[in-house]
Amino acid sequence: MITNKIGIYPGTFDPITNGHVDIIERSVMLFEKVIVAVTNNPKKSPLFTVDERVDMIRTVVQGMKNIEVESFNELLVNYALKRNATAIIRGLRATSDFEYEFQMALVNRKLASNLLTVFLMPNEKYTYLNSTIVKELGRLDGDIADFVPKEIHSRIISKLDKR
């Protein structure tokens, strides 16, 4: 474990998937504290509000040690520095993720050279999984039970049924 180090795992988490949880579980093995930081992406139309997403993630990580969940609405590097983070944690599912994530890591390094970006690969059974797929599958009455934490499954189904 890296001692006295804080990792920030940022994302929209709309909704959180088992792949996200896998990255969180891997992160707490590396950092003394992991902050799951929820934000809005202007390129996406979220199903859940930021507050709903924060609440769902808190439900899922309840009982896990050294995890905080909160929202932010500013430049990630500035937020990470305010929280005294030493690293930004990013999940890489497939090679298609790499180019974008690599560019962002380089920009973040330019903005804050002492802030590392750590790439983690999820378990291979989650490499195809993302929140968009979960929402599309759920909207079409597909079974999403294997893709999302059981603690929030019914909340996701309920929200999809209201749309």
The DSSP bridge partners found for residue 91 are 120
Q: Tell me if 105 sits within 8 A of 117, measured CB to CB.
A: yes
131 is a catalytic site residue? yes
Catalytic residue among 27, 44, 53, 158: 44
158 is a catalytic site residue? no
83 is a catalytic site residue? no
Catalytic residue among 58, 131, 139, 155: 131
Report the interhelical angle of 18-27 vs 50-61 (nearest 10°). Answer: 60
Catalytic residue among 26, 33, 90, 93: 93
Catalytic residue among 20, 33, 53, 135: 20
153 is a catalytic site residue? no
Distance CA 128, CA 142 (A): 16
Distance CA 59, CA 75 (A): 26
The DSSP bridge partners found for residue 67 are 34
Of 137, 134, 100, 139, the C-alpha closest to 119 is 100
Which residues have a catalytic role annotated?
Answer: 20, 44, 93, 131
